[in-house]
Amino acid sequence: MNIQLDDRRKALIEKLGIANEEKGFQPVAGRILGLLYVSPRPELTFDEIRESLNISKSATSTALNLLMHMGRVDYTTFSGDRKRYFRIKLGNWREVIQEEMEHMVKISYVLQEVLEVRKADNTANFNCNIEEFTSFLQFLYKDFPSLLQRWEKSRGKE
Amino acid sequence: MNIQLDDRRKALIEKLGIANEEKGFQPVAGRILGLLYVSPRPELTFDEIRESLNISKSATSTALNLLMHMGRVDYTTFSGDRKRYFRIKLGNWREVIQEEMEHMVKISYVLQEVLEVRKADNTANFNCNIEEFTSFLQFLYKDFPSLLQRWEKSRGKE
DNA sequence: ATTTTGGTTCTCAAAAGTTGGAACTAACAG
DNA sequence: CTGTTAGTTCCAACTTTTGAGAACCAAAAT
């Protein structure tokens, strides 16, 4: 019933788990993502996840629901089988990055407010740095589709 | 002795504080960054920071040292004045973004390890998504200087 | 109708993270 | 020397996060 994971995969789960924690996921959610990345079979049941990671049902349930809510995990079912087969959503990495950029652009709007408040203050150089930063963030956001295109082009060549 | 902050600035400190917390800073550190963004005078003393935010000396000290360690804040001094004048480092936003990209690229290397471990597994489509993602992250990283150039060019035109 | 399966939800305890307060230190001032 | 300033460090309290355990529930199986 338990997934067979060699030491290399176990080590990668930890690495990915930590990387995901740094990205803001709670520990169990980070491990689950890691597991779903390296699992030989990419679709795992609730209990396979729970057993592979030695975590409780509640932790498994909460984390899986969080990950599904965030659009990072989904599941399939098979008729005649009540279990859900959870899998990491990798196909949507473009949207995931897009969302991160949206977050950055939101911050840039706050910085624009800062800039407005600072107009009266006699701190031209300081303000200029803020302006540059917001301008770049917004450029990056707007330029993202073209960035994707350039990436696709760059792959074609090789 | 206390910095004069109108309601607009106070509100912005909170917004920036929350945004910075989301970025992984501890609350006090996030507020300090917010304060240093909106303060009419961009260089504040330890006690001005402490009083403006109503926080203890220990919290102020810990957070400032953290922020300095992370390269987000530094200070000047003036001869004949023992105080340090702390200020947010805005001039280095290029490096800050660069570092974030370095972090992403590190993750992409872990994903390449994943890919290697998965080669044996018969999951071509899954692996392909991982490969695309790592490839894009590495492209983004390598392309960053050119991205900056394109941004600079785009400003010249307007 | 009762049991089993595949989860969900609630409660609580342990662990981490955050902050305040007081004691401390180093440098300078008088 | 003694006092003051500008911070630092240590410790304890408080808050938040996290995850286990048990009770729970709905659908399917027997």
In angstroms, the CA A149 to CA B38 distance is 38
- Determine whether the distance from the CB of A81 to the nearest atom of strand D is below 7 Å: no
For B43, phi then psi, to 5°, come to -120, 115
- H/E stretch holding A84: strand A81-88
Quote the pLDDT of residue A1: 60
Structure tokens given for B83: 């105080």
- Residue A91 banded pLDDT, cuts 50, 70, 90: very high
Cβ neighbours of B8 in A, within 8 Å = 117
Q: Is the CB of A69 under 7 A from strand C?
A: no
Q: How far is the CA of A48 from the C1' of D23 (A)?
A: 23
Q: Helix A124-157 crosses helix B93-118 at what angle (to 10 degrees)?
A: 30
Crossing angle, helix A46-53 and helix A57-69, to 10 degrees? 120
Model confidence band, residue A158 (pLDDT cutoffs 50, 70, 90)? low
Which two structure tokens, joined as six digits, stand for B129? 């998504």
**Percent over 90 (pLDDT), chain A:** 96
The torsion of the CA quartet A12, A17, A20, A25, rounded to 10 degrees, works out to 160
Q: Which residues pair with A50 in a beta bridge?
A: none
Q: What is the mean pLDDT of residues A55-71?
A: 98
To which residue do tokens 């005078």 refer?
A: B41
Q: Does the C-beta of B78 come within 7 A of strand D?
A: no
Return the sign of the alpha-carbon dihedral for residues B17, B19, B20, B25: positive
Percent of chain B scoring above 90 in pLDDT: 96
- A:4-23 Cβ neighbours of strand C under 7 Å: none
pLDDT of residue A157: 72
**What pLDDT, on the 0 to 100 scale, is given for residue B3?**
86
CA distance A50 to A61: 9
> Which residue's CA shows the smallest distance to C1' of D20?
A56
